[in-house]
Structure 1
Amino acid sequence: MEGYFFSIDKNSAIINLINDTGEKHDWQDRNKWSDYPILHRLLNFMSTRGFQIGRDPEYQRRYKSLNKDHWYGRKGTLEFKAERYPRGFRLEFFQNINYENKYGGYYDFDKFEKMPYMIKLMFINEANKIAEFLKALGITENTRIEYKLSKDKIKQHYVESCHYPQKNMDFNLSDLDGTTCEYSYNNTDRDGKTIYNGQIKYFRNWKGRLMRGRVYRNLNNMWWVILNDTEYTNIADFQLFDANEEDFKVRRLVKDRKPKEYIDRIEKINQTSTKELINELKRRGIKVAV
């Protein structure tokens, strides 16, 4: 079926639009794709709802040739990035209050899960308004089925991925138990042990709390972890481990705990006079403006 289709993935806080009209253009005519005006109308609509929108600063600074295809916007503490391409566009929402990645919330997995309660409500409301706007333009919603059980959610990922043979939901995750991937750099835990589907593994969440769950392979070095009947997460292989006595002694790690050597070095620098620091820099051949 040809046409425009959009979907909303609330777990990833992503809105996608796909152009399946069958239109074709040469690369030099890429700005003529019919989905581009739809994105511009959507961004204008979001502006009327209070979003401040402009070009993505990262692309303005580092990837100027791609600048015209990327946007950044925010409404209070809810932020988003938009990207267009010949066959559609996507909006990815995030926040920078609770985040794990040192570069900010945009680079985190589980973006919706990490949102504080009020930001979650804001995202849900804005996503619903965007859906209404796109439907009013005659665009068909194609949001995938939202399964309740975590094992079904992971099965859905397998079915939708071109990297796995499963084509429908008619299989059990337990059928994969005991298997792993062929590359050791994608299936080795914190302590160098091989990870197998169906194993119980421990990890620390973004707050430093000790967690555990049953693991199943995702892509590259990432593994799905079933936490309970309805919750799951995505964890890198080197973050997984079999808990030992020391792990149980410390149930929560202090976030951003710095090594003792680093703390001692900073303290030593703080005790050093400015003159001594300048002399040391000069000794290393670094010019210092005094």
Structure 2
Amino acid sequence: MREPHIATTDTGLMLWHETEALARPVYAALQAELLRLGFTVGPCAETEKHYPTLAPGHRRGRREQLDYSLELSGRTVKFEAWQESRASNPAGGRYDFRKVDRMDYLTRLRFVWTRRHLLALLAGMGFPLASERLCMSPSGRDPLAAFNSGWGADRFTRGPDGWPDARELSSWDRRDGDGKPTSSGDTRFVQPWNARGRWVRCRVYGGINGMWHCYCNGAYLNNVNVGNLRSVWPGRGRRFSSRERVRVLEGRLEKAVHEKRFLAAHGINQELERLKAEATKPKE
């Protein structure tokens, strides 16, 4: 009989057992532990409506701002968490990318705390201890250890600092948005999805497939394309493109409408229309 297997993801856990009969007690134990931790545990309304025969294997619940789903599918049990109140996908936060990055700080702490309790429970049930994939920043996260947990410590030709060397990264474009080559440990500027047009300073690592891990003050951004990085502070020695200006103004417009500052929103909207008209005007 094969050993049970457990894997951690950025948003939860995935478990595998030898048979469905062995997986069901694990599914029940996780429900009991979530109840003990203060979460609600109930049926998934969507599954009950469309797939009633599968409903016993689907559970939904929440504690404060942290939502989760727990699913039993054959020999596999899956736990996944997100924050519905900060969802951007019209179908719900469960279908967002980078769910952990979208959580506010306290909800992210709640998620880490919950996952560690579930891992401790599973270790007592005979599952091998998994190396927890860290999702917290700024402190307590070793960039190289986090990179190795995802890619493996024995892959790629490494430099003296432990990161993939320049020859290993030569298959992908390393030039940032200002045309400067990027290496692990360099300082760059990046615009997080929730920054409302603001740029933040960060350290970048990795570079596999042209994607970089960014460690900022209070935020961790995973898989940022090198073209979205800047080596010069935007606005200082570099001109914003029309697309960037439109994106910033759209964020300001949304904020002004949300705060019911309609006079300011009217002015921002006029500027947006002017920029869009200039972009569509045929060149003479």
Q: What interval of TM-score do these two structures reach, taking the shorter chain for normalisation?
A: 0.5 to 0.7
Residue type of the alignment partner of 1:172: G
Report what 1:204 is aligned to: 191
Structure 1 position 149 matched with structure 2 position 142: yes
Change (3 A) 1:190 1:228: closer
In structure 1, the partner of 2:212 is 224
Matched, 1:179 2:170: yes
**Cα displacement (A) at 1:181:** 4.5
SS in 1 for 2:195: coil
Question: 1:195-274 to 2 correspondence within 5 Å?
Answer: 202-205=189-192, 206-208=194-196, 209-213=198-202, 214=204, 216-217=206-207, 223-227=211-215, 232-235=220-223, 237=225, 240-242=228-230, 243=234, 244-246=238-240, 255=251, 257=253, 260=269
The partner residue of 1:126 within 93, 114, 125 is: 114
Shift of 1:234: 1.9
**1:68-88 superposed Cα distances (whole Å, 9 cap, x missing partner):** 544322122211122333442
Q: Does 1:135 align with 2:123?
A: yes
Structure 1 or 2, whichever has the larger Rg, is 1
Are the structure 2 counterparts of residues 188 and 62 from structure 1 closer, same or farther at C-alpha, using a change threshold of 3 Å?
farther
Deviation at 1:203, TM superposition (A): 3.4
Specify which of 26, 34, 41 is matched with residue 38 of structure 1: 26
Specify the code of the residue in structure 2 equivalent to 1:4. Answer: P
Aligned residue for 1:3, secondary structure, equals coil
Secondary structure of 1:74's aligned partner: strand
CA RMSD of aligned residues (A): 4.9
Report the 3-state secondary structure (helix = DSSP H, G, I; strand = E; otherwise coil) of the residue aligned with 1:141: coil
Aligned to 2:68: 80
Q: 1:245 Cα shift?
A: 2.5
- Give 1:210 deviation, angstroms: 1.0
The CA distance in 2 between the partners of 1:188 and 1:104, in whole Å, is 35
Answer yes or no: is the 8 Å Cα contact 1:36–1:84 preserved in 2.
yes
Q: Report what 2:6 is aligned to.
A: 6
Q: Match of 1:148, as an amino acid?
A: R
The unaligned stretches of length 5 or more in structure 2 are 135-139, 255-267, 274-284
Contact 1:204 1:211 in 2 (8 A): yes
How many residues are treated as equivalent by the alignment?
Answer: 241
1:21-74: CA deviations, max 9, x gaps? 4x5xxxxxxxx4521331123213323443223343454566778655443221
Given that residues 53 and 74 in structure 1 are in contact (C-alpha distance below 8 angstroms), is that contact kept between their aligned partners in structure 2?
yes
Give the match's secondary structure for 1:140: coil
Aligned pairs (5 A) from 1:60-139: 60=48, 69-99=57-87, 101=89, 104-139=92-127
Query: Aligned residues: percent identity?
Result: 17
The 3 A distance-change label for structure 1 pair 7 and 143 is farther
For the Cα contact (< 8 Å) 1:109–1:234, is it kept in 2?
Answer: no
TM-score where L is the length of structure 1: 0.58
Distance 1:137 1:173, change over 3 A: closer
Deviates more, 1:33-42 or 1:207-216: 207-216
Decide whether aligned partners of structure 1 residues 152 and 131 sit closer, same or farther in structure 2, where only a CA change above 3 A counts.
Answer: closer
How far off is 1:115 after superposition? 3.0
TM-score, normalising length: structure 2: 0.59
Q: Is the 8 A contact 2:61 2:67 kept in 1?
A: yes
Q: How much has 1:172 moved relative to structure 2?
A: 3.5
- Once residues 145 and 167 of structure 1 are traced to their aligned partners in structure 2, the CA distance between those partners, rounded to angstroms, is 23
- The 8 Å contact of residues 179 and 196 in structure 1, kept in 2 or not, is answered as no
User: Are 1:159 and 2:152 an aligned pair?
Assistant: yes
SS in 2 for 1:40: helix
2:128 corresponds to which letter in structure 1?
A: T
Asked if the contact 1:158/1:166 (under 8 Å) is kept, the reply is no
Distance 1:136 1:231 in 2: 33
**C-alpha distance in 2, partners of 1:254/1:230?**
25
1:246 aligned partner, one-letter code: F
